[in-house]
Amino acid sequence: MDSWRHHRSAFWAAFTAPTFWLVVFFLIPLSLLWLFSFGEKEGITGINISWTLKQYSRALDPLYLGIFAKSLWMAFLTTLICLIVAFPVAIAIVFAPPKARLWLLLLIILPFWTNLLIRTYALIAVLRTRGQVNFGLEWLWDHANSFLTLIGLGSYNLLGADFEPLGMLYNNTAVLIGLVYVHLPFMVLPLYAALDRLDRSYMEASFDLGAGHVRTFRSIIIPLALPGIASGIIITFIPAMGSYLTPDLLGGTDSQMIANVIERQFKSANDWPFGAALSFILMYVTFFGLALRAVLAKREGRGGKIT
């Protein structure tokens, strides 16, 4: 690596353009938002930067604290479900034959590359009242009913007089399904990376010494894969908490998450300083998570890092 001093012209030629773009079209907008968060609304469009903490204290209102708590809770549940589902998947992929492993990894990653909006829309089509899931349930219901009629129980209406489609959309469950659907690959990849690095002779030794699968999993796999688990938890939790589209399209009136409130401040409610303060609270939580991940990775000596 060269010192920039010895190659000044080459350094500046390469340094200037990307730095300009980052500063002008990213850091300045972010700083502007930060300034707004200490301001107050003046008239319809004016913002007076008065260095007040009013906007942040407004965020402590039980209503908004509740929405923050809800976002954290939804992100927590999403992370938990993803962890439970992704762990066996990651184990199966790690121990698969090399070629199948590559294909399975590809299949897990591929949805990442598909437009988030389209994936959410695909979920809507499946979950809505007249969607495929209800269609399947109705089919089951019909057959169960004819079976009951066949064995002479048809007149009791054991399954109800008519098939009632499940209302699976526009509620918290739908948001949770959507969040898991979107974030599952975020969890599989770091777990896969951690398990792939794991020295298998430890597991063999554990089996040789008489431990079963459960014991080996608890005492060998989990402790050794801990950095990967921590990494997976954090990189699933952070984007899940800041989700905008999923709660917006799949959720009902009580499924608002923090990003939806921020959006409302900037669009319909037109209260930019408050929206800016909420954005920065969300960002601080994100930075806290990332710092935690860095500390954990450092303490373990090897990062469960995957980019």
Which residues 33-72 are close enough to bind another protein by CB under 8 A?
Answer: 33, 36
Contact stretch for another protein (CB under 8 A) within 20-28, 53-61, 144-152, 155-163: 20-28
Give, as ranges, the residues between 271 and 290 that touch another protein (CB under 8 A).
Answer: 272, 275-276, 279-280, 282-283, 286, 290
Q: Are strands 39-42 and 46-49 parallel, antiparallel or unpaired?
A: antiparallel
Our finding on whether 228 is near another protein (CB under 8 A) is no
Is the backbone of residue 271 left (phi > 0), alpha (psi -120 to 50) or beta?
Answer: beta
Our finding on whether 17 is near another protein (CB under 8 A) is yes
Our finding on whether 19 is near another protein (CB under 8 A) is yes
Give, as ranges, the residues between 100 and 139 that touch another protein (CB under 8 A).
Answer: 100, 102-126, 128, 130-132, 135
CA trace torsion 176, 181, 186, 187 (10° rounding): 70
Which of 111/148 has CB closer to another protein? Answer: 111
C-alpha gyration radius of the chain: 25
For residues 241 and 69, is the Cβ–Cβ distance under 8 A? Answer: no
Give, as ranges, the residues between 183 and 222 that touch another protein (CB under 8 A).
Answer: 184, 189, 200, 203-204, 207, 213
What is the three-class DSSP state of 167?
Answer: coil
Our finding on whether 18 is near another protein (CB under 8 A) is yes
The 244-273 site mask, x for binding another protein (CB under 8 A), equals xx---x---------x--xx--x-----x-
Which of 166/306 has CB closer to another protein? Answer: 306
Closest separation in Å from C-beta 158 to another protein:
26
- For 48, the token pair is 């007076």
What's the burial of 90, exposed, middle or buried (CB within 10 Å: 0-12/13-18/19+)?
buried
The residue from 26, 73, 147, 288 that contacts another protein (CB under 8 A) is: 26
Largest distance between two CA atoms of the chain: 93
Q: What is the DSSP letter of 24?
A: I
Our finding on whether 299 is near another protein (CB under 8 A) is no
Residue corresponding to tokens 């992100």: 75
For residues 202 and 224, is the Cβ–Cβ distance under 8 A? Answer: yes
